[in-house]
Structure 1
Amino acid sequence: MKLAVIGGTGLIGSQVVTDLNAAGHEAVPHSQSTGIDVISGQGLDEAVAGADVIVNLTNSPTFDEASLAFFQTSMDNLLAAGREGGVRHFVILSIVGADQVPELDYYRAKVLQEDILTAGPIPYSIVRATQFMEFIDAILSWTADGDTVRLPATPIQPIASKDVAAAVAAVAAGTPLGGIRNIAGPEVFSLDELGRLTLSHKSDSRTVVTDPAAGMFAVVKGDVLTDKDAHLAPTRYADWLA
């Protein structure tokens, strides 16, 4: 099976390409560095020519309202190229609970991406993942101030990027789901607790203060960032830290 992995040189994409090729498929990575542009459409027809599957792992360069236009244009261009090229399966990676947080521009943009795909002409699969373990440091940096990191107690179920990639590769190599597969890490933490674990492991002396108004995830209510019915990945956070 031949797969065009758009965004195939990034954190998830590069691992998806490796996993698919190791399984005997022909997965070809495409990105700006290989000469394609999902906004202008440059190189897309050539990138998907002869592909059975498109795996779209591109991401908006911003998390603000401009991300809506990015996903609208990129999906329109990729679906058009895929339809013209006879692609039989289109896969995207989204976020668990994205449809439950309309207050966040980026989450609304990911829901828009899903909606464009489901209304499109190509059989599809959507993989929704919880927050990546690799992004925890960035989350801490958003609310760091001197010796203090302020975090809400929002429940979070972090997943390792290698487990995300494995799940995306498995879905891409299978028949179209015509729906959503949710994936998550095996453990649920409160975000402030996760911050303390992370700083302790790194012997970082900063103090985590529980602040329900701090950071991007302060607007997330309840257990939106977790999913009790998700397919659980094997990697535990402590093992990933180690």
Structure 2
Amino acid sequence: MKIAVIGGTGLIGSQVVKNLVAAGHEAVPHALSTGVDVITGVGVDDAVAGADVVVNLTNSPTFDDASPAFFQTSMDNLLGASAKAGVGHFVILSIVGVDQVPELVYYRAKVLQEDVLRAGGVPFSIVRATQFMEFIGAVLSWTADGERVRLPRTPIQPIAAADVAAAVSEVAADAPLNGIRNVAGPEVFTLDDLGRITLEAKGDSRSVVVDDTAGMFAEVKGDITAPADAHIAPTRYTDWLAAG
């Protein structure tokens, strides 16, 4: 199959392209760097022309009030072009429990993206993943204060980016789900415990202080761990840390 991977040069997209090519598909990466702008629409028609499947892995550059407009415009442009091109399967990557966290504007924006996809008229699949292991360092940096890192006790079930890419690749190469596949890491931690494990593994002497008002994840009131139907990925967080 010919598969257009929009956002195909990023953390997940580059691995999805590699996986699909290894499986014998013609996977083509597209991004701003290749001349495809999902906001202005420049290059979008050419990117999806002749594709059997479109995988959209683009992401809003911010988590703030600008994110809904990004997802609305990018999806309108990509779905419009895909419908004209006769694309038979459109895949996006979303977040486990995204509809359980209306407190966060970015999560509301991702729900909007899912809703636009469902109404777009193209057979589709939504892959929802838990938080990436690769982003934990950034999460710690948001609330670092001298010798302390303040973190809430929010339950987190981290997943390796390679496992996310494997799940997206598998879904993209199969028939449309016209629904959701949830994927998650094998272990649940509170975010403060995850912070302690991370700092210890890196030889970082800073201490973690529980602060249920600190950072973006302090706003999470719903459940963002794996639901009962989730596919559980193999990579454990401590193994991922050790390999890094």
Structure 1 length as normaliser, TM-score? 0.99
SS in 2 for 1:40: coil
Give, as a single letter, the amino acid of the residue that structure 1 aligns with 2:80: A
**CA separation in 2, counterparts of 1:133 and 1:222?**
20
Match for residue 156 of structure 1? 156
Listed as ranges, the matches of 1:215-226 within 5 Å are: 215-221=215-221, 223-226=223-226
TM superposition shift of 1:218: 0.5
Query: In structure 1, how many angstroms separate the alpha carbons of the residues matched to 2:83 and 2:224?
Result: 34
Cα deviation, 1:59-105, whole Å, max 9, x if unaligned, reads: 00110010000000000000011011110000000001111111101
2-side partners of 1:178 and 1:86: how far apart?
16
Partner of 2:172: 172
Contact map agreement 2:153 2:210 (CA 8 A) in 1: yes
Mapped partners of 1:224, 1:40: distance in 2: 33
| Contact 2:183 2:226 (8 Å CA) reproduced | no
CA displacement at 1:115 relative to structure 2: 0.1
1:70 equivalent in structure 2: 70
RMSD between aligned alpha carbons? 0.8
Shift of 1:222: 5.2
TM-superposed CA distance for 1:227, in Å, is: 3.0
Q: Distance in 2 between matches of 1:178 and 1:168?
A: 14
- Report how far residue 114 of structure 1 moved: 0.1
State yes or no: 1:201 paired with 2:220: no
| Matched residue, 2:10 | 10
Alignment map for 1:12-51 (pairs within 5 Å): 12-51=12-51
The residue type equivalent to 2:74 in the other structure is S
- Cα deviation, residue 219, structure 1: 1.2
Map 1:122-141 onto structure 2 (within 5 A).
Answer: 122-141=122-141
Alpha-carbon displacement from aligned partner over 1:110-130 (angstroms, at most 9, x marks no partner) = 000000000111000000000
State whether residues 44 and 78 of structure 2, in contact with CA within 8 Å, keep that contact through their aligned partners in structure 1: yes
Any gaps of 5 or more consecutive residues in structure 1? none
Structure 2 gaps, min length 5: none
Contact 2:100 2:223 (8 Å CA) reproduced? no
CA distance in 2, matches of 1:152, 1:226: 19
Q: Secondary structure at the match of 1:175?
A: coil
C-alpha contact (below 8 Å) 2:188/2:225 kept by paired residues: no
Q: Distance in 1 between matches of 2:199 and 2:73?
A: 39
In 1, Cα distance between equivalents of 2:230 and 2:218: 23
Q: Which aligned segments of 4 or more residues in structure 1 are displaced greater than 6 angstroms?
A: none
Output the CA distance in 1 between the equivalents of 2:179 and 2:212. 34
Residues 222, 105 of structure 1: CA spacing in aligned structure 2 closer, same or farther, 3 A cutoff?
A: closer
- Structure 1 match to 2:236: 236
What is the aligned length? 242
Alpha-carbon shift at residue 230 of structure 1 (Å): 1.1
Give me the whole-angstrom Cα distance separating, in 1, the residues matched to 2:215 and 2:148: 13
Structure-1 residue corresponding to 2:79 = 79
Which amino acid in structure 1 is aligned with residue 8 of structure 2? G
Q: TM-score, normalised by structure 2?
A: 0.98
Report the counterpart of residue 95 of structure 1 in structure 2.
95
Q: Is the 8 A contact 2:148 2:207 kept in 1?
A: yes
- SS of residue paired to 2:103: coil
